[in-house]
Amino acid sequence: MTRERIRRIIQAALIVGAFSICFGIVSGARAQGELLNVSYDPTRELYRAINTAFTAEWQNKTGQKLTIRQSHGGSGAQARTVIDGLNADVLTLALAGDIDAVAERSKKIPLDWQKRLPQNSSPYTSTIVFLTRKGNPKAVKDWGDLAKPGISVITPNPKTSGGARWNYLAAWAWAEKAYGKDEAKVREYIAAVLKNVPVLDTGARGSTTTFAQRGQGDVFLSWENEAFLVLQEFGADKFDIVVPSLSILAEPPVTIVDGNVDAKGTRAAAQAYLEFLYTPAAQAIIAKNFYRPRNTEAAAPEDLARFPKLELITIDTVFGGWTKAQKEHFADGGTFDQLYKPAR
Amino acid sequence: MSDSPLPAAIYRTDRALRDGFWIRALLLTLALGFLLLFLFLPLIAVFVEAFAKGYGLFLESITEPDALSAVRLTLLVAAIAVPFNLVVGVAAAWAIAKFEFRGKSLLISFIDLPFSVSPVISGLVYVLLFGAQGFLGPWLKAHDIEIIFALPGLVLATIFVTFPFVARELIPHMQALGSSDEEAALTLGASPWRTFLTITLPNVKWSLFYGVLLCNARAMGEFGAVTVVSGRIRGLTTTMPLHVEILYNEYNSVAAFAVASLLAGLALVTLALKTYLEWHFADAISAKSRH
Amino acid sequence: MAGPSISFTSRRGDCVAVTASSWRQPSILPGFGLSLAITISALSLIVLIPLAALFLKAASAGPADIWAIITSARTQAALRLSFGAALFSAILNAIFGLIIAWVLVRYRFPGRRLLDAAVDLPFALPTAVAGIALASIYAPNGWIGALLAPYNIKVAYTPLGVMVALVFIGLPFVVRTVQPVLEEADADIEEAAALLGASRLRTIFRVILPGIVPALLTGFVLAFARAVGEYGSVIFIAGNVPMFSEIAPLLIVIRLEQFDYAGASVVATIMLIVSFALILAINGIQSWSRGRLGHV
C-alpha cells in the first residue's frame, strides 16, 4: 500500500463527506412548492388519493408544481412531533384535542382554529365499529359483549392514538346509557373491557396489523374506514364488520399551521389544499376511501350505500367537548389510568 | 491445535482429549439447531416474504419513488456519519494507543458508552437538546436552523450510535503493534504526517477497513435512534429501516420485506467482506473479539 | 514486528506507573494534543453534552416526581422486563454461545467456515429487519408459531417474544469473545491433564473452563448490555402491552409521545446509568483478566 493511495483514499473520503454535507444543507432547506401534511394512521390511502387530485388541480390553476409530503403515525404521537418542531404545513389529525395541544404548546396555531373552516373544521367524519373474525364466532354484538370473560379485544393505546380515544369514549357513552349514568357500574364495565385487551399498540395501524395480520384477538375496535380497508386488503371472506347499537361521531379535524406556513411562504397553497377537501370532487374521494363525506351529492351512491345507519352520539353533547374529555379520561391520573390495571 | 499428535496414544488419554461421538453429535446438533432457529430462519423468511407475490411486485416495491428516496437518504446519512467516525476513530486510537495519560481508561469507557446506551436514548437526547421545546430549540428557530426531523438530526443520531466502532477495532491493534516503527521513522527525520501516512495507516489498514465496515452496516441499519428524530416524512426523512416499518404498518408486507431484503442483502455483503478480511488478513487484524 | 495474536500476550497497554509530576508519560511521538483534542471535542459534542442535557431534563422534574416515576408500577414492570429478559437471553447466549464456539473451534465438519461467518449476522442485519422477520416466524400463523400453537405456547406478543429477539441480537457476543481464547488455549495443558489421568469431565471443568471464564463473562456482559437497550427488533414482536410485554426503551418512546419529557428522561437516565456501569464492568473484567491470565 503506497502512501499515494492512502492519501487518495483520505482525499476521496473528505470530498465525499464535504459534498454530502453541502447536499444535505441544500436539501434541508425546503422548496416552496412543497407541503407537509402531518396526519394520523389510517388516512394513508385517503390522502394519497386526495394529494394526486389536488396537485393536478393546483397545477392547472397556478402553473406551480406542488409536492405534498405525508407523515403518518398515532395522532397523539404526531402532535408531539409537531410540538417538537416538525415543520408541518397542515395538520389532519384524528381529533381536535391533539390539535388543541399543538396550538397550546407550540403557539403556532390560534386557539380558536376549529372555527376557521366549516363544520368544526372536519371535512369528513367516521365512527367506531367492531371487526370480528368471519362468522363472528364469539358472537360479539354490542358494547356489552366486550366485557365478557374470554373475549379478547384489540384497541390501540388511548394515550397515543386518537382512534383509541374515540373507542374509549364510545364505550363509555354506551355504558352511561345502559347503566343509567351509574358511574360505579360504568367504571366497572370499562375496567372489565380493558382487562380483555391483550395488546395496546401506539397507533391504529399497529392494532390493525396485530388483529388482521397477526391473528390476535376476537374483536377489533376500529375506525369504520379502517374496518372497510381491512376487508378490502385482507379479503371480505376473513372478517365481519359488526355495527353496535350506538357509536360516536368521530370528527377528524384539519388545520393549517400558521407559524410554519408563514415562515415557509406556503399559506396560499395550504389554505387551498384544506378548502379543496370540502369540494365535491374531494368529497367523492373521501366516500370512496370509506370516510363519511359531509356533502353526499358528488359521492358515488354505491360508496354511500356501504355506510350502515346507526345512532351516533357526539362528544360535545355527551362529554362536553374535547378539552373536558381529555382532562377527565386521558390525562395522567384520568379514568383510563385509574381503570387500566391489567391482571398480569 | 488440540488435534496435535499425542506423545503416547493411550486410549484413556485419547478419551479425555476428544469428545465422544455422541457428545459431538449432541453439541453439533444443539449448535446447528440454535443457529437455524435464531439466525437462518429469519434471514430466509425475509427473502421468502419479499418474493411471496413474485418477482415483478418485488421489483416494483423497490423502485417506487419513496423506496428510492429512502435508499438515497440512507446512503447519504452513512456517507456523512461514517467518514466522520473514521476521522474521530483514528484520532482517538492514536491518542489512546500511542500515549499513556491519566484518565485514559475513563476516556475509553466514554467512547464505548454509545455501544451500550439504548438507541432510543441516543435519539431522545437530541430531541431534548434541539427540539422546539428543547434547550436550544428557541435559538435554532430564531436562526431558522432545522436539526430534528431533518437530515442533521438523522446524521447526529447515527454518528452517536456508531461512535465507538472504528476506535474499538483500531485501539487494540495499534496497542499491539507498539510505537517502535513510528519512533524509528521520526528519528530518521520523517515528518509527523509522513510517518502517520506511510507507517501507521498501512500497518492498521485492514482493521481500519474492518471497523469502517461494521460502522457502515450499523449506520445504514439503525432504527431506534433515527425513529425518534425522523418525523417520518415519507420520501424525505425516512431511511430504509423506517421505510420498512411504514410499509409494514400499511399491510404492505411484500413491499416491507422487499426493502428489508435489500438491507439483508447489504448485511450479507458486509458479512462476506468481513469474512474475506478475516480469512486473508487475519494476521493484520488483531483480536476478533469485542465489536 | 508484532504478529497476529499479539493482543493476547502483549501487556504494553498497562505497564509502568505514571510519573508523579505529569499526567502523561513523555513520548517522542507527535500529535498527542491534536488527536486528543479531536477525540474529546467530538466525544463532548456528540455524546457527552447531549447526555448531560438528558440528566438536566431528568433532574428538572424534582425529587418527588422522579421518585413517583421510578416507583410507578408501569415503569417498574418495564424495567423488570427489560432487565429480566436481557438477563435470560444473555444466559441462554452464554450457554449456546459456548457450545457454538466449542463446535466451531474443536470440530471439523463441512460448512464450518460458512457457519463461522454466519454467526456475525446479527451485527450486520438491521434490527428492524430482524424484528419483522422474527415476528412473522413466531406469530401464531408463522412457520414456528404455527408449530407451537397447538401446545398453546405463544411466543410473539409475549415476554417470550422479547427474549427471542434479544437472543438474536446478543448471539455473536459470547461466540466472538470465547472463540479466540479457545483457539489460543494451550493443548499441552489439556494433554498433560489427560496424561496425568484426569477424566474428560475433569479436564473440561478444571482445565479448559477456568481459562475461558473471563472471555465468557465479557461476552455475557456485552450481550446483556446490548439486550437491555435494544428497541428495533423487539417492538415488532413484543406486542407492547403495558405491564406485560412493554420494554423500557419503548416506555421512553411512549412517554415522549405523550408529551411527558420528564418521564421519558427519568427512565432514560436510569437506563443510562446502568449502561455506564456495565461498560465499566466490562473494562474491569478485561483489565482484571489481562492482569491475571494474560489474555482477553
In a domain, B291, yes or no: no
Say whether both A213 and A142 belong to one domain: yes
Decide: B148 and A87 in contact? Cβ < 8 Å: no
Question: Which among C140, C253, C260 has the least Cβ separation from residue A215?
Answer: C140
Say whether both B19 and B116 belong to one domain: no
pLDDT of the residue at B2: 44
Decide: B129 and B139 in contact? Cβ < 8 Å: no
Decide: C275 and C226 in contact? Cβ < 8 Å: no
pLDDT-derived band at A4, boundaries 50, 70, 90: low
Q: Decide if C156 and A214 are in contact by the 8 Å CB cutoff.
A: yes
**Could you read off the pLDDT of A272-325 as tens digits, one per residue?**
999 999 999 999 999 999 999 999 888 999 999 999 988 999 999 999 988 899
Q: What is the mean pLDDT of residues B94-101?
A: 92
In a domain, A226, yes or no: yes
Q: In this complex, is the C-beta atom of A238 within 8 Å of any C-beta atom belonging to chain C?
A: no
In a domain, A296, yes or no: yes
Averaged pLDDT score across all residues of chain B: 87
Decide: A233 and A260 in contact? Cβ < 8 Å: no
Q: In this complex, is the C-beta atom of C10 within 8 Å of any C-beta atom belonging to chain B?
A: yes
Q: What is the mean pLDDT of residues A214-220?
A: 86
Say whether both B115 and B229 belong to one domain: yes
Say whether both B68 and B91 belong to one domain: yes
Closest-CA residue to C155 (of C147, C176, B163): C147
User: Which residues between 247 and 266 in chain C have a beta carbon less than 8 angstroms from any beta carbon of chain B?
Assistant: 248-250, 252-253, 256, 261, 264-265
Question: Residues of C at the A interface (Cβ-Cβ below 8 Å)?
Answer: 135, 139-141, 156-157, 239-244, 253-254, 256-260
Closest-CA residue to C1 (of B177, B173, B280, B204): B177
Q: Please, which residues bridge with residue C227 across strands?
A: none
Say whether both B35 and B103 belong to one domain: no
Read off the amino acid at residue C109: F
Q: How far is CA C10 from CA B94, B177, C217, in A?
A: 18, 9, 21
What's the rounded Cα separation, in Å, for the pair B157 and C47? 10
The whole-angstrom distance between C134's CA and the closest CA on chain B is 6
Q: Decide if A202 and C140 are in contact by the 8 Å CB cutoff.
A: no
In a domain, B285, yes or no: no
Q: For an interface test with B, give the residue of C14, C35, C265 to mutate (most B CBs within 10 A).
A: C35
**Residue recorded with cell 423502485:** B63
DSSP string, C46-74: IIIHHHHHHHHHHHTT-HHHHHHHHHSHH
In a domain, A190, yes or no: yes
CATH number of the domain encompassing residue B116: 1.10.3720.10
Number of domains in chain A: 2
Say whether both B136 and B272 belong to one domain: yes
Say whether both A189 and A319 belong to one domain: yes
Say whether both A200 and A323 belong to one domain: yes
Query: Which residues in chain C have Cβ-Cβ distances shorter than 8 Å to A215?
Result: 139-141
Q: How far is CA A242 from CA A138, A143, C123, in A?
A: 12, 11, 46
- For residue A138, give the DSSP letter: T
Which residue segment(s) compose the domain that B19 sits in? 1-50
DSSP string, C145-208: HHHHGGGT---TTSHHHHHHHHHHHHHHHHHHHHHHHHHHS-HHHHHHHHHTT--HHHHIIIII
**Could you read off the pLDDT of A45-65 as tens digits, one per residue?**
899 999 999 999 999 999 999
In a domain, B201, yes or no: yes
In a domain, B89, yes or no: yes
What's the rounded Cα separation, in Å, for the pair C226 and C169? 8
pTM over 0.95: no
How many residues belong to chain C? 296
Q: What is the distance of C-alpha A289 from the center of its chain?
A: 14
Query: Which residues in chain B have Cβ-Cβ distances shorter than 8 Å to A36?
Result: 233
Say whether both B41 and B108 belong to one domain: no
In a domain, A6, yes or no: no
Say whether both A65 and A145 belong to one domain: no
**Could you read off the pLDDT of B122-138 as tens digits, one per residue?**
999 999 999 988 899 88
Say whether both B79 and B218 belong to one domain: yes
Residue C243 Ramachandran class (φ > 0 left, ψ -120 to 50 alpha, else beta): left
pLDDT of the residue at A27: 46
Say whether both B45 and B57 belong to one domain: no
Query: Which residues in chain B have Cβ-Cβ distances shorter than 8 Å to C117?
Result: 271-272, 274-275
Q: Decide if B232 and A41 are in contact by the 8 Å CB cutoff.
A: no
Query: Which residues in chain C have Cβ-Cβ distances shorter than 8 Å to B172?
Result: 7
pLDDT-derived band at A28, boundaries 50, 70, 90: very low
Q: How many CB pairs under 8 A join A and C?
A: 59
Answer with the residue of higher pLDDT: A344 or A95.
Answer: A95
What's the rounded Cα separation, in Å, for the pair A181 and A173? 9
Question: Which among C156, C243, C257 has the least Cβ separation from residue A76?
Answer: C257
In a domain, B101, yes or no: yes
Strands A219-223 and A128-133: antiparallel
**Could you read off the pLDDT of A250-279 as tens digits, one per residue?**
999 999 999 999 998 999 999 999 999 999
Q: Decide if C241 and A198 are in contact by the 8 Å CB cutoff.
A: yes
Which residue segment(s) compose the domain that A290 sits in? 31-125+251-305
**Per-residue b/e over C146-174, b at no fewer than 16 CB within 10 Å?**
eebbeeeebbbbbbbbbbbbbbbbbbbbb
Number of domains in chain B: 2
Q: Decide if B234 and A70 are in contact by the 8 Å CB cutoff.
A: yes
pLDDT of the residue at C292: 64
Closest-CA residue to A30 (of B230, B131, B151, B225): B151
Rounded to the nearest 5 degrees, what angle is found at the Cα of C9, between the Cα atoms of C4 and C15?
125
**Could you read off the pLDDT of A86-145 as tens digits, one per residue?**
999 999 999 898 999 999 988 999 999 999 999 999 999 999 999 999 999 999 999 999
Averaged pLDDT score across all residues of chain C: 84
Question: Which among C135, C140, C259 has the least Cβ separation from residue A83?
Answer: C259
- Under-70 pLDDT residues of chain C: 1-22, 292-296
Q: In the numeric block, which cell numbers belong to residue C244?
A: 406485560
Q: Decide if B119 and C5 are in contact by the 8 Å CB cutoff.
A: no
In a domain, A59, yes or no: yes
pLDDT of the residue at B268: 94
In a domain, B82, yes or no: yes
CATH number of the domain encompassing residue A227: 3.40.190.10
Say whether both B29 and B166 belong to one domain: no
Fold category of C61-293 in CATH: MetI-like fold (1.10.3720)
Q: Decide if B124 and C179 are in contact by the 8 Å CB cutoff.
A: no
In a domain, B31, yes or no: yes
Q: Decide if A340 and C242 are in contact by the 8 Å CB cutoff.
A: yes
Query: Which residues in chain A have Cβ-Cβ distances shorter than 8 Å to B202?
Result: 1, 3, 6
Is residue B290 over pLDDT 50?
A: no
Q: How many CA atoms lie within 13 A of A203 on its CB side?
A: 27
Decide: A299 and A128 in contact? Cβ < 8 Å: no
Q: What is the mean pLDDT of residues B160-175?
A: 92
The whole-angstrom distance between C139's CA and the closest CA on chain A is 6
Q: In this complex, is the C-beta atom of C281 within 8 Å of any C-beta atom belonging to chain B?
A: no
pLDDT of the residue at C1: 31
pLDDT-derived band at A13, boundaries 50, 70, 90: low
Answer with the residue of higher pLDDT: A181 or A167.
Answer: A167
Say whether both B37 and B69 belong to one domain: no
Is residue A156 over pLDDT 60?
A: yes
What's the rounded Cα separation, in Å, for the pair A104 and A101? 5
What's the rounded Cα separation, in Å, for the pair A149 and A145? 9
Reduced to 3 states, what is the DSSP secondary structure of residue A34? strand
Query: Which residues in chain A have Cβ-Cβ distances shorter than 8 Å to C243?
Result: 341-342, 344
